[in-house]
Structure 1
């Protein structure tokens, strides 16, 4: 007989309520305290601490749940053309980040970036694979080693997410074009690719 304890339904509901309250509170104030989050969840500070050791533990849980969504997006991109796959991946990731930019900013903060990198390992592997594939077929620049180019793309994404207003007009299109530019495509090549696949532009709109 297994000794694994299954959380009671009310405990699971409380935990989900805390996470949802944290998302809402942090969207308004990225520095919202544990007290504010607990009140938003309709729970006591003590109850919150029964689920999470501290505020950082709560944020790490938000990062993990958010990372699962980003990793799922990476798995959903199946284009054989590395250029198209990278553009579609950038557009879909931007669309998701635009909905939860506050969480993305927290996740990419220096205090949490290492934890975020671990949580996003599947996504990072996808980007690395796309870079290698694009270099091998001549689509992407080859003056940089694949790991270096993949890291540049990651750093660009981090900068855009943390410094750009995700809701501003044209921000998503700019993000996609910037990724393609770093990969080695000229602006004309990016124009041609996106014009031939308007579905990507619609996602990025």
Structure 2
């Protein structure tokens, strides 16, 4: 077996490719969050890689943007799953979900700047978790059973984006926007604030 095709060399090449992809996605998240129309060349420069390397992993800007949104969605889902949404009172779980989402928005400002580029299917896992929580809260009487779950989901997403936009525009501090979001969502759901 030659040095060119050895298993060790293939492992090194794959590891280098993973590092390149990670650097590209990190740079794309940062650069596109600041300048949504940034070019592939700008992203490559921010990643410390050549434009050719970026195109080797992502054949188009659309493919790169799709990968960026997939990474952000995966991060949001992991944060929601870590929030133990099936545990404790539904209003407390709802606030944990909102906090997890807020941290994701703060970590990835691109979610506020360029939400139109995301594949609508990426919202599916997030919506599924929220729906499960809404149904649990409605069954237990902790959320308004007369409110349509679809409406509650739409209101949650819209209010989350509104809070993020207010904070991003500097009209509210991030802490004030997060507090307003939490209070507004509890009212929309017909839920009492959990006691500490």
Instruction: Tell me if TM exceeds 0.5.
Output: yes
1:1-205 to structure 2, matched below 5 A, reads: 8-78=14-84, 79-102=87-110, 104-106=111-113, 108-109=115-116, 111-112=117-118, 115=119, 117-161=120-164, 163-165=165-167, 168-185=174-191, 189-190=192-193, 193=194, 196-197=195-196
Matched residues in 2 for 1:49 and 1:31: separation?
17
Runs of 4+ in 1 over 3 A off after TM superposition: 166-169
Please list every run of 5 or more consecutive structure 1 residues that lacks an aligned counterpart in the other structure: 198-205
Q: 2:163 touches 2:180 (CA, 8 Å); kept in 1? A: no
RMSD (Å) for aligned C-alpha atoms: 2.2
Matched residues in 2 for 1:142 and 1:126: separation?
18
Matched residues in 2 for 1:100 and 1:71: separation?
14
Secondary structure, aligned partner of 2:37: coil
Secondary structure, aligned partner of 1:32: coil
The change in CA–CA distance for 1:106 and 1:54 in structure 2 (over 3 A counts) is farther
Q: 2:135 touches 2:149 (CA, 8 Å); kept in 1? A: yes
Structure possessing the higher relative contact order (Cα contacts under 8 Å, 6 or more residues apart): 1
- Structure 1 residues 114-147: Cα deviation after superposition (integer angstroms, max 9, x where no partner): x1x4224222111101111111222112332223
Q: 1:63 touches 1:107 (CA, 8 Å); kept in 2? A: no
**Superposed displacement of residue 37, structure 1:** 0.7
Taking structure 1 as the reference length, the TM-score comes to 0.77
Larger radius of gyration: 2
Matched residues in 1 for 2:132 and 2:34: separation?
37
Matched residues in 1 for 2:36 and 2:130: separation?
28
**Superposed displacement of residue 69, structure 1:** 1.4
**Superposed displacement of residue 87, structure 1:** 1.1
**Superposed displacement of residue 85, structure 1:** 0.6
Q: 2:36 touches 2:114 (CA, 8 Å); kept in 1? A: no
Matched residues in 1 for 2:78 and 2:185: separation?
20
Q: 2:138 touches 2:144 (CA, 8 Å); kept in 1? A: yes
